[in-house]
Amino acid sequence: MAKFSIKHQPGFTAIATTCFVVLYMPIVVLVVYAFNAATSTSEWGGFSLKWFQSAWQNTQVIDATLLSFQIGSVAAVLATIAATMAALATTRTAPYRGLTFKYAAINQPLMVPEIVTGVALLIFFSRVKIFTGYSGLGYLIAAHTAFCIPFAYLPIRARLENMDLTLERAAADLYATPWQTFRRVTLPLLWPGILAGLMLAFVISLDDVVITEFVKSGGQDTLPTYMLGQIRRGITPEINAISTAFLLLSVAIVTLFFFVSRKQD
């Protein structure tokens, strides 16, 4: 008789395996068809890199990519700085008045469907635009920074909660100023969390379609909003090629994130 395993539940392994297969199957098909020589997206016409080439030569794609990176990096840095400060202010302390309010406020963007935030920002920024006459990238950066903060906050707060105050107290005992203590003790210990928060924020910004779609002015297409426009018009393997490149970037960032967060142990 087989050994009785306490961890076994009938059918669970089958469901889990199916889930993993189903999660990856569409992505694999998408990547394979990016290398399709045929113009049709259903017939296989041999291996070719021509769709990558055509995407590379498409100035709209390049402009949208650059804009995505520009907004993503500025928003991620700003969100991470704000989130680090907020995390320092909300951890390792006895509960004080307003602490719960801060948690709620920081996590608020997660609790509102993107479409509602998008609409709210459309209305608000259209007023501001009329009032100030400014219609640059500032709006997109502000919007992205706001919804990236809760994501950046998550790993930083988790990291801080696992750090006790002993080392900081020791530094203070040795006459370090608060700034020196932060710079020499807290920051190096917190660094993996900050890096993880930064990457998470960058990916979240790069991922956004809905809020960007509502906030952007003319000519401010990011890569996802550009792609959405193309998909609406009809699909070509060029979208597969762009997606594949984007996918590669995501995998690279996740891998990096994994190494950074593993280092904590």
Partner 1 sequence: MATAEQVAKEAEQSDVRARWLLSAPALLIILVAATGPLLIVLVYSFLTPGPYGDVKWQFSPEAWVSVFMERDIFDDTLSLAAAHITIFWRSIKLAVVTTIATLALGFPTAYFMATRSEKTRDIWLFLITIPFWTNLLIRTFAVLQIIRNEGIINTLLIKAGIVSAPVQILFTDTAILVGMAYVYLPLMVLPIYASMEKLDFRLVEAGYDLYANRFQVLRRIIFPLVKPGVIAGSILVFIPAIGAYVTPVVLGGGKNMMLSNLIELQFGQGRNWPLGSALSIAVMIIVMVALLAYVRNAGRTEVRHG
Nearer to partner 1, 13 or 162 (CB): 13
Report the distance separating Cα 5 and Cα 9, nearest Å.
9
Q: How far is the CB of 213 from partner 1 (least distance, A)?
A: 8
Q: Tell me the H-state helices in the chain.
A: 12-34, 50-57, 59-90, 99-111, 114-132, 138-161, 166-173, 178-181, 187-207, 210-215, 223-233, 237-262
Q: How far is the CB of 31 from partner 1 (least distance, A)?
A: 9
Nearer to partner 1, 18 or 53 (CB): 18
Two structure tokens written together for 21: 């297969």
Look up residue 76 and give its amino acid: A
Two structure tokens written together for 62: 């390049």
Q: How far is the CB of 164 from partner 1 (least distance, A)?
A: 17
Nearer to partner 1, 55 or 206 (CB): 206
Report the distance separating Cα 166 and Cα 34, nearest Å.
54
Q: How far is the CB of 207 from partner 1 (least distance, A)?
A: 5
163: left (phi over 0), alpha (psi -120 to 50) or beta: beta
